[in-house]
Amino acid sequence: MGRKIKASAGNSLSVREAVALNHAYATILKAALEQRLGQIGGTVAMLGSVVEIAADAGYQGTIDQAGDILRREGGFIVEPDPSGRLTVRRADSR
């Protein structure tokens, strides 16, 4: 049996399940970002708006977790705007 990771109180995931979930969430978040950028016609989106779209597709994490996932995926810059809210953009867009 594989190692277990605590997902929340009373629940645990195997490492394989955790990797699969992270990959699924990354895919959902990237698609949500593309959808949001298409809606606003810009290159930078509020991460909270992206997470709202992603939640409709099954994402169950927080805004901060979404930022961490996108940073680890590479190709994305997640940073606060002047008011402190997180924004996200593709690293190749300026």
What confidence tens digit (pLDDT) does each residue in 4-62 have? 445 555 567 788 988 999 999 999 999 999 999 999 999 999 999 999 999 999 999 99
Q: What is the pTM for the complete model shown?
A: 0.83
Query: Are the beta carbons of 32 and 53 closer than 8 angstroms?
Result: yes
State residue 5's pLDDT score: 46
State residue 24's pLDDT score: 97
Residue 88 φ/ψ region, left for φ over 0, alpha for ψ in the -120 to 50 degree band, beta for the rest: beta
State residue 68's pLDDT score: 97
